[in-house]
Amino acid sequence: MARSRRAWGWHQLDPRWAELLVADARVGTGDLVIDVGAGLGALTRPLIEAGARVIAVEAHPGRAARLRECFDREVVVVVTADAGDLRLPRRPFHVVANPPFGISTALLERLVHPGSRLVEAHVVLQLQVARRWARPDGSAARRWRRTFQAELGRPLPRSAFHPRPAVDSRVLVLRRR
């Protein structure tokens, strides 16, 4: 039986908002960028236009297949995987992502794990999760605050997504110190 968008926890980002998020992230030519929860490529397309090399991570097999059809394999590598199983690159990388809210904590913990080569991440999260991670004493901060700083980025209205989520969203920005 086919699963609905809500069952997969997917809220597609409007292309105009995707362009704003990519502009905020200031990725450039040759940057390696991971797009977790790539969906149908709302963030992938403007990342490519900015000159980035993209790893588009999508757990839904049908959407992953569509990504492979839409994008040049030289510029976009599509990985069908859950964020909990994601292997991070061994070289410096960025993240610009609109992941399903249900995987947010697992994704963030993986990104700030010791040994991560993350340079900077701009991740769309449920507002409460973004606030918790941005607090100086939040989310096991003692373990990762020496390496990364966290701050709140752009708020996103519910109308920036389809279907509209039941909660407010905000970008969390993680930067290597």
**Per-residue pLDDT for 19 more than 90?**
yes
The string of pLDDT tens digits covering residues 23-64 is 999 999 999 999 999 999 999 999 999 999 999 999 999 999
Mean pLDDT rounded to a whole number for the chain: 91
Domain that holds residue 44: 5-176
Neighbours of 172 (CB within 10 A): 22
User: How many independent structural domains does the chain possess?
Assistant: 1
Range name among 5-9, 74-78, 124-128, 167-171 with the lowest pLDDT average: 5-9
- CB-based contacts of 93: which residues, under 8 Å, 6+ apart? 31, 32, 33, 34, 55, 117, 118, 119
Which CATH number characterizes residue 81's domain? 3.40.50.150
| Residue among 133, 120, 119, 10 nearest 63 (CA) | 10
Q: Please state the pTM of the whole predicted model.
A: 0.92
